[in-house]
A and B are shown apart, each in its own frame.
Chain A
């Protein structure tokens, strides 16, 4: 008795740790970890800007309520979607919760079989949890952040459980199963009904940053600390059904000072983005390695305002083709991206080339970046060179302005090259640097206060153009074309890739926007951190279970082959 009391008083902390490991709740996960033979080791601190634009705070732990990359990067570590998109922009079978996806009833039904994974509290992940997510989406209505993507929820009539691990998505009409799987189910994580209970929008909305709703997870990591606006600390989920994490602790920092390189040098961060302008200079720093993450699956483009009557020439496809043909993308790639990017004149990204049509693969496109072709298109459209070298038609000059985000220097440089290119074929371009909010507000206002603007778009799954280049689509300045509408519709309704290719080839001819090259993400990484090259997918989402550290007494999991 005395001994027990003495031990309790002398070693209270140690006793707490003992009971933490050997409590009923925790013994199962730790036993699983030991049985798996994995030994997570070391801590890595990384900013949440990696693989995306400037860093921004995490403001929601609910995977249904925010489509910002900063939030999704974190929530996908906690709640695994049915489909995880891999480096080739197709389903990554190992990291997806779905074991198989099968179209049935003439593409009116999609059957998804779940892997036998468990929630972090040991309860199995079941088809009923997927049904629970569907019920939340219906209750959220337009608050669901991914509404319309991959036909969810508008093209889905019902979601029901067939058995414990099988769930059926029933469509209102035949639908392209690949499109639903990649574009819709990649944003569809089953949620733990047993832990969340019957929560409606008025419960879910104010509890977006409530860590108690992120305690039971099925992703590779468990959230242990969340300091809003500062950082989140995570540890590996020992019951995760996929490949186990190598790190013992991952800290995701949401705020970056003005000098991330200084933070890297003083050891506070383990990796950071490097401005493209410093791509060569960073190799002179010792103790770090430079890694180029691939460019995101998407595009940077000039969007024209079809609602602005002051610039009616944008309605003429010949003028739009001339704008693309006049663009010297090779110079842009060489000067702005140090040769580390790719020329692209398609609304379908060329890296990875997964969804390129045969015509695009063979380089047989109606636009080729040829200034002679550009001049011919403009002459054919009735635009003739005026006294000052700028083309005119019925007394109106071929001139317009383009807004660009002032905080992305590469875009400004691209436009300066474009300005010179356009001038050489007789088009006058003026550049207006603005804020991000001005860009987004202009895109959604339907007003005539702008001529054109530069924006970027990341594509989740198949680059089908629905919601973008069909009539009423967002982010395309009011572009509308009946044939494009029918081709976009076909690409999301018909199975296979022929519908997508037909849309893609027509879009190359129509040039509803002018695509500009975009770069990857140059990183500077502490030598102690490995596995970096594999941990970001084309959508900017992370697989930090790939990361490992080589100090703190940790063993390399790769035999020294990975960066």
Chain B
């Protein structure tokens, strides 16, 4: 137990160091890019004296190190500051957008797991056949595609059939649940395909390897049917590495959702981060990076803990 606690404490310290480094890098890189928030706030044709007045108003005219320290001071006081562009508290904005992103990512992850299980089991079962190779080729094809290509492909394929932008049909003052689900389908499916492409091959290989082991032959000899062998014996063994991979795929999912949200104009955290980066909205950008970083690290920690519960040997590794 002490070993487990020590391990968790070490992981926590690593996580804190990663977050500080991430925030510092984001802060420096964001300020190093040309232009500034005044152009995004006031319009591109703003005059230099107005730029100076805006910078003074939002506190962007002080030394960079002072802005950096002020940001940490506010964070320690529980505030992420105010968005330069939207004039709203960053915390409230992030929570609102993160809620929609969470819905998209959970839907995408859910669809991805379903596709992974269906595709991975079929691929594993028929691993060395032509059908299995075809499934493998499909997995490789999606794996090779960046998220925005998958999104674009789906949007063009379903043009006119399914909505490709926003979260509801704005013609209706009170959109229905069915309308919202229709708008969620394509972005969630894009994320689902990204998850599927990364995981299905591992699952298929795991299943194929387990099927070659003597215990499956023994089970067959005992008279168990193929589905019973697969579901009761093979799948539980093949699934364990998948949970680790699922945890590790969370950062990729978060990064992928930035592209997917932009392609589908889905107002989530990824889209907000992308917009804040373009418009030099530093408080919002850094707050968003902090939240995404925390979620990623916590996701990895959670996967680690689940694996530890599933496999007690890891406690002593």
Instruction: Please say whether chains A and B are actual partners in one complex.
Output: yes
Among A141, A145, A258, point to the contact of B263 (Cβ < 8 A). A258
User: Does A278 sit within 8 A of B, measured CB to CB?
Assistant: no
User: Which residues of A lie under 8 Å from residue B163 when comparing CB positions?
Assistant: 263, 266, 268
User: Does B216 sit within 8 A of A, measured CB to CB?
Assistant: no
| B45 and A209 contacting across the interface, CB-CB below 8 Å | no
Interface size on B, residues (CB 8 A): 55
| A205 and B86 contacting across the interface, CB-CB below 8 Å | no
Which residues of chain A (421-479) have a CB below 8 Å from chain B?
435-438, 440-442, 444, 457-458, 467, 474-475
| B86 and A259 contacting across the interface, CB-CB below 8 Å | no
| B271 and A255 contacting across the interface, CB-CB below 8 Å | yes
| B166 and A229 contacting across the interface, CB-CB below 8 Å | no
| B57 and A258 contacting across the interface, CB-CB below 8 Å | no
| A66 and B162 contacting across the interface, CB-CB below 8 Å | no
Contacts A229-B86, A266-B162; is A142 near B49 (CB within 8 Å)? Answer: yes
User: Does B165 sit within 8 A of A, measured CB to CB?
Assistant: yes
Chain B residue, CB-CB nearest to A142: B53
User: Does B52 sit within 8 A of A, measured CB to CB?
Assistant: yes
Which residues of chain A (50-75) have a CB below 8 Å from chain B?
57, 59-60, 65-69, 71
Chain B residue, CB-CB nearest to A149: B47
| A258 and B87 contacting across the interface, CB-CB below 8 Å | no
User: Does B135 sit within 8 A of A, measured CB to CB?
Assistant: no
- State in angstroms the CA–CA spacing of A79 and B218 once bound together: 81
Among B41, B47, B88, B164, point to the contact of A262 (Cβ < 8 A). B164
User: Does A208 sit within 8 A of B, measured CB to CB?
Assistant: yes
- State in angstroms the CA–CA spacing of A255 and B183 once bound together: 15
- State in angstroms the CA–CA spacing of A353 and B43 once bound together: 27
* Cβ proximity bits B133-160 to A, threshold 8 Å, 1 near / 0 not: 0000000000000001001100110111
Which residues of chain A (310-334) have a CB below 8 Å from chain B?
none
User: Does B44 sit within 8 A of A, measured CB to CB?
Assistant: yes
Select the stretch in B124-132, B169-177, B236-244 that faces chain A. Answer: B169-177
| B171 and A43 contacting across the interface, CB-CB below 8 Å | yes
User: Which residues of B lie under 8 Å from residue A60 when comparing CB positions?
Assistant: 41
Among A59, A67, A437, point to the contact of B33 (Cβ < 8 A). A437
User: Which residues of A lie under 8 Å from residue B263 when comparing CB positions?
Assistant: 257-259
Q: Describe B's contact surface by its main secondary structure.
A: loop
User: Which residues of B lie under 8 Å from residue A230 when comparing CB positions?
Assistant: 166, 267
Chain A residue, CB-CB nearest to B53: A142
| A141 and B39 contacting across the interface, CB-CB below 8 Å | no
Contacts A68-B42, A266-B162, A436-B44; is A255 near B85 (CB within 8 Å)? Answer: no
- State in angstroms the CA–CA spacing of A258 and B166 once bound together: 11
User: Does B292 sit within 8 A of A, measured CB to CB?
Assistant: no
| B46 and A145 contacting across the interface, CB-CB below 8 Å | yes
User: Does A195 sit within 8 A of B, measured CB to CB?
Assistant: no
Contacts A209-B87, A437-B33; is A145 near B156 (CB within 8 Å)? Answer: no
User: Which residues of B lie under 8 Å from residue A231 when comparing CB positions?
Assistant: 170
| B86 and A147 contacting across the interface, CB-CB below 8 Å | no
Among A251, A268, A436, point to the contact of B165 (Cβ < 8 A). A268
| A265 and B159 contacting across the interface, CB-CB below 8 Å | yes
| B41 and A474 contacting across the interface, CB-CB below 8 Å | no
User: Which residues of A lie under 8 Å from residue B223 when comparing CB positions?
Assistant: none
- State in angstroms the CA–CA spacing of A437 and B86 once bound together: 19
| B164 and A437 contacting across the interface, CB-CB below 8 Å | no
| A258 and B155 contacting across the interface, CB-CB below 8 Å | yes
B142 to A: closest C-beta gap in Å: 19
| A68 and B44 contacting across the interface, CB-CB below 8 Å | yes
User: Which residues of A lie under 8 Å from residue B47 when comparing CB positions?
Assistant: 147-148, 467, 474
| B51 and A143 contacting across the interface, CB-CB below 8 Å | no
- Between A and B, 19 residue pairs with Cβ closer than 8 Å are A69-B43, A201-B57, A207-B87, A230-B267, A251-B171, A253-B166, A253-B170, A255-B271, A256-B265, A257-B155, A257-B165, A257-B166, A262-B165, A266-B160, A266-B163, A268-B166, A269-B165, A436-B35, A440-B39
Chain B contact residues, CB within 8 Å of chain A: 33-36, 39-54, 57, 82, 85-88, 93, 148, 151-152, 155-156, 158-166, 169-173, 262-265, 267, 271-272, 275, 280
